[in-house]
Structure 1
């Protein structure tokens, strides 16, 4: 009768899991692998969040050691029919449209995070000269396109 190579437990006919281990060892290995992947993802997210963004081309107090490349992030956001309806009413009677402002704020946050991610992917730890451009895509059903761009650089820590 076969034994589990990890714990030495005897394996029955249907107890053999992938790799010839018992059910308990198989699940323990899978859990360990999942925790490792989760830890790597958390570290990657922390590294992306640590990327510095600035609108300055030559930021005071930061020493640029290497210019890498131009990075961009494009995000398209749709305005649903209710947001459009209330924005249209605000346009006629005046006032602020909180729904439209929230959509623009959310699109900015997403675009800047994507810009950080793009910079991280090319080995940068900062993006200088960040520029945000908004375009209204009326033909696409009242969508807002936000393009964030800048130069990915390495700065001294």
Structure 2
């Protein structure tokens, strides 16, 4: 399964557009991660716990999008876009959206 952010795939022809596919993942921040992130903000450095949570949420959203595309019989997903949104006070939603296509 090819996943690209562009509208097409170089050297490939889109034979059929199968529709929009998406995947979402919501992750909550935990109290300990919040405390350590605030300490990092004061002393400098990267908030590794948050980075890992964000990376995991992105991977899950993309995996869900791919599963939806495979169920539709797609060979690829083009025009993929990742969106990040804060939900409530302590949750983050990652959405992966694209167009499922059959290649010719």
| TM-score between the two structures when normalised by the length of structure 1 | 0.63
1:132 aligns to 2:67 (yes or no): no
1:135 aligned counterpart, secondary structure: strand
1:147 aligns to 2:95 (yes or no): yes
- Detail structure 1 runs of 4+ shifted over 6 Å in the superposition: none
Unaligned segments of structure 2, at least 5 residues:
none
2:74–2:101 CA contact under 8 A, matched in 1: yes
Match for residue 116 of structure 1 among 62, 66, 77: 66
2:24–2:60 CA contact under 8 A, matched in 1: no
The Cα shift of 1:68 comes to 0.8
| Structure number with higher strand proportion | 2
| Equivalence map 1:58-97=2 (5 Å) | 58-97=8-47
Unaligned segments of structure 1, at least 5 residues:
1-50
The Cα shift of 1:92 comes to 2.3
| TM-score between the two structures when normalised by the length of structure 2 | 0.92
> Which gives a bigger RCO, structure 1 or 2 (Cα 8 Å, sep 6+)?
2
